[in-house]
Amino acid sequence: MKYQRPKGTMDILPAEAVKWQFLENTARKTFGRYDFHEIRTPIFEHFDVISRGVGESTDIVSKEMYDFYDKGKRHITLRPEGTAPVVRSYVENKLFAAEYQHPFKTYYIGPMFRYERPQSGRLRQFHQIGVEVLGSQRALSDVETIAMALNFFDKLGIKQTKVVINSLGSRDNRQLYRQALIDYLGPLVGQLSENSQRRLQQNPLRVLDSKDQQDQEIIKQAPSILDYLDSESKLFFEEVQGHLRELGITFEVDPLMVRGLDYYNHTVFEIMSEAPGFEGVLTTICAGGRYGGLIHEFGGPREFDTSFGFAMGIERVMIAMEAENDQPKQPENPDIYIADLTAEAGILGLKMAELIRKNTLIVKCDYLIRGLRSHMRLANKLNATLVMMIGAEELAGNKVKIRNMRTGNEQYFSLGDIESDFLSAYYRMINL
């Protein structure tokens, strides 16, 4: 029987995983500087958390849920996104209480699951990094969080980015705009794709999200939501734009950009990349915005019920990162390569490896009995700093031979010296 991984999943092999670690560590470091702290919620949630949190009419809930009934007949789903779980946790753990950070600034890194038709860049298990600022009122939060995303991309070497923003205004503003959109699209319904016809029924704003060519032509002429904002919403949007300019962040306003979740209001934004890996298609690598009503929906207090967040797909960010960096990340080089030359040398090699690793150095020792020439070839290839040779002569004399690979110099070291004061012996080795 031959097994294959499930459709739409990937094995991240060690050479790739190094890049993932770099990306994730960079996120942790960057977000930490902005006073964001990690949260880890379960991989699965009650179905209702997602269906209520994301919205019944979204593609995620209506088509893409990886849901099932467990042995206790509970309706469970693998999480398709991170915001609803984080808000569920915020309310359940009363993270709005006085002893917690306010606004509550958090990030998550992990796998998400959507039952989609797998294709290039579209998986059933994919990975997201997301952040949420829960209980944040001010435009400063929006701008700080967008700046943080750009700072993160900069640290990854992703420089060719484009920031696009829009405002969805308040719930009332959206209600007016929704009607205007229905008035505009209604007479054209026959020309819309099937998907957009369905969206027009359920959630007209989402028609603007359509990727269909002919839909796009129609959408171009659609009314702008910016004409339906009240003065308060306009002021907020102007503040966001003013702050972005103060920070020297270049951006465009796209009045037809909407987001898929039902709870978005006011600022929405996307960061796009045209990196070569995307084959000439301007691709969104980070998307988010301000949302309200979700905390209350989950039973939390209204006074904190305005938040800002974004999510990015790691697989996509990786494509942009690789396109703009020619040096792929390598695994770290061994400090010491142990060449055990006889079967009897193996246990001394293992003891030495343990001692060296306790001193926080990286050791390569594979316990395959090889000749010296084969060991040296591998040590060279791995770019080891030192080689420790252990053969019959060394075993008999309670010593090891050290070769400094940079200078080519060799010297014997007694086991007694190494064991009694490893660091001073090591210092002498690297200065050979």
Q: Which residues bind ligand ATP (CB under 6 A)?
A: 81, 114, 116, 121-123, 126, 128, 260, 284, 287, 311-313, 315-316
Nearer to ligand ATP, 218 or 287 (CB): 287
Tell me the closest approach of the beta carbon of residue 311 to ligand ATP, in angstroms.
Answer: 4
Cα(165)–Cα(130) distance, rounded to whole angstroms?
A: 18
Instruction: Tell me which H or E stretch contains 199.
Output: helix 194-202
Nearer to ligand ATP, 58 or 306 (CB): 58
Tell me the closest approach of the beta carbon of residue 131 to ligand ATP, in angstroms.
Answer: 12
391 strand-pairing partners: none
Cα(83)–Cα(106) distance, rounded to whole angstroms?
A: 11
Nearer to ligand ATP, 164 or 382 (CB): 164
Nearer to ligand ATP, 123 or 429 (CB): 123
Nearer to ligand ATP, 212 or 417 (CB): 212
Tell me which DSSP letter residue 407 carries. T
Cα(149)–Cα(249) distance, rounded to whole angstroms?
A: 12
Tell me the closest approach of the beta carbon of residue 392 to ligand ATP, in angstroms.
Answer: 56
Tell me which residue of 124, 141, 158 sits closest to 324, measured CA to CA: 158
Nearer to ligand ATP, 240 or 261 (CB): 261
Nearer to ligand ATP, 134 or 314 (CB): 314
Tell me the closest approach of the beta carbon of residue 62 to ligand ATP, in angstroms.
Answer: 12
Tell me the closest approach of the beta carbon of residue 370 to ligand ATP, in angstroms.
Answer: 43
Cα–Cα separations (whole angstroms), residue 22 to 6, 27, 328: 26, 9, 11
What is the torsional sign of CA 85, 87, 88, 89? positive
Strands 264-273 and 283-292: antiparallel
389 C-beta neighbours (distance < 10 Å), count? 23
Long-range residue pairs from 247-250, CB within 8 A, at least 24 positions apart, any chain: 247/143, 247/147, 249/143, 249/146, 249/147, 249/150, 249/163, 250/163
Q: What is the residue whose two structure tokens read 């029987």?
A: 1
Tell me the closest approach of the beta carbon of residue 10 to ligand ATP, in angstroms.
Answer: 10
Tell me the closest approach of the beta carbon of residue 243 to ligand ATP, in angstroms.
Answer: 23
Tell me the closest approach of the beta carbon of residue 300 to ligand ATP, in angstroms.
Answer: 23
Cα(124)–Cα(64) distance, rounded to whole angstroms?
A: 9
Q: What angle separates helix 14-33 from helix 314-324, to the nearest 10 degrees?
A: 100
Cα–Cα separations (whole angstroms), residue 18 to 10, 21, 214, 364: 15, 5, 42, 17
Tell me the closest approach of the beta carbon of residue 80 to ligand ATP, in angstroms.
Answer: 8
Cα(431)–Cα(424) distance, rounded to whole angstroms?
A: 11
Tell me which DSSP letter residue 131 carries. E
Provide the residue type at 133 as one letter.
V
Cα–Cα separations (whole angstroms), residue 181 to 53, 147, 201, 278: 25, 32, 11, 32
Cα(262)–Cα(292) distance, rounded to whole angstroms?
A: 10
Tell me the closest approach of the beta carbon of residue 104 to ligand ATP, in angstroms.
Answer: 21
Nearer to ligand ATP, 114 or 403 (CB): 114
Nearer to ligand ATP, 123 or 244 (CB): 123
Tell me the closest approach of the beta carbon of residue 292 to ligand ATP, in angstroms.
Answer: 18
Nearer to ligand ATP, 85 or 313 (CB): 313
Per DSSP, the three-state class of 78 is strand
Nearer to ligand ATP, 9 or 197 (CB): 9
